[in-house]
């Protein structure tokens, strides 16, 4: 709370200062209602390009457009007031070079009001991260399994095993040195995640990484159990809302077919009720 009693929204500076402190609680959010539910409990709400699969039914994040991210970023900002809102930069909006990345990031922040952007990549993206941060754009980085590079990886497999561990470590150090305020570590061995967390001076936020990271993030639809056919190893389901929703819809359909709904309490009379008194 601020001195005026209004809620102060967290900033990238606040999240950066949490290195080695209280764990950073993060979830994805794509809509105003979900943002409103998650906001009081979270430090970071990520408008992830995972919305391509979760909301739009794409097979990957690759078809997601900048306009989609902006539209959903606006919605999440309208539904939140406490958490730092970070918007993913979609595939093709930043890889061509720092100037392209700046134009995309500037548009995201200006049109959504969000507090930061996130982009994928390590050593190769460090110059772009430095370019953005030097121009006032807070950047969250993302190394390890980077879904926008799924075609290069040949799937969504664990990264950083064996000799590949050094590359992940180099990537994490590069983005930290370039000015990122935090870095997502995705689908890495726990021991490597712990090493990265110990060796860089910005917070690490794990997804399929390690409990030793400075924070954690999950796709909210996975955590709430909205989909029964997707159960990644790194997700803990805290509810089974998909099953509950399926039953509720079945009950509704049964009531409609049996003419139990709408009932008398849901209907309007011919005349408006007279005021009391």
Buried b (16+ CB within 10 A) or exposed e, 51-68: bbbbeeeeebbbebebeb
| List 95, 186, 265, 271, catalytic entry | 186
Cα 153 to Cα 147, 156, 244, distances in angstroms: 9, 7, 36
Residue 229 marked in a binding site: no
Closest CA to 26 of 96, 116, 110: 116
Residue 199 marked in a binding site: no
DSSP string for 97-146: -HHHHHHHHHHHHHHH--SEEE--BSGGGHHHHHHHHTTT--EEEEEES-
Name 221's Cβ contacts closer than 8 Å, sequence gap at least 6: 28, 54, 227
Residue 39 marked in a binding site: no
> Is 199 known to be catalytic?
no
Residue 88 marked in a binding site: yes
Residue 49 marked in a binding site: yes
Indicate the annotated binding residues for Mg(2+).
49, 88, 120
Catalytically active residues are 186
Indicate the annotated binding residues.
49-50, 88, 118, 120
Indicate the annotated binding residues for 3-methyl-2-oxobutanoate.
49-50, 88, 118
């Amino acid at each position: 709370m601020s001195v005026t009693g209004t809620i102060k929204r967290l900033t990238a500076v606040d999240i950066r200062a949490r290195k080695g402190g209280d764990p950073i609680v993060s979830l994805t959010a794509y809509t105003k209602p979900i943002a409103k539910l998650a906001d009081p409990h979270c430090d970071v709400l990520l408008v992830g390009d995972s919305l391509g699969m979760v909301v739009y039914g794409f097979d990957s994040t690759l078809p997601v457009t900048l306009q989609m991210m902006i539209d959903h970023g606006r919605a999440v900002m309208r539904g939140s007031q406490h958490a730092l809102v970070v918007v993913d930069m979609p595939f093709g909006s930043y890889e061509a070079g720092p100037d392209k990345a700046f134009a995309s990031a500037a548009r995201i922040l200006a049109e959504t009001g969000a507090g930061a952007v996130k982009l994928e990549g390590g050593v190769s993206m460090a110059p772009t991260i430095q370019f953005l941060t030097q121009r006032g754009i807070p950047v969250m980085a993302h190394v390890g399994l980077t879904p926008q590079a799924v075609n290069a990886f040949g799937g969504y497999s664990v990264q950083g095993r064996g000799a590949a561990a050094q590359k992940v470590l180099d990537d994490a150090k590069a983005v930290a040195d370039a000015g990122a305020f935090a870095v997502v570590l995705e689908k890495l061995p726990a021991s490597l995640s712990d090493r990265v967390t110990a060796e860089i001076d910005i917070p690490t936020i794990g997804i399929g990484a390690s409990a030793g990271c400075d924070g954690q993030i999950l796709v909210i639809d996975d955590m709430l159990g909205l989909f029964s056919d997707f159960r990644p190893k790194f997700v803990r389901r805290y509810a089974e809302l998909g099953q509950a929703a399926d039953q509720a819809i079945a009950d509704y359909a049964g009531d409609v077919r049996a003419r139990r709904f709408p009932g008398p309490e849901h209907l309007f009379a011919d005349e408006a009720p007279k005021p009391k008194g």
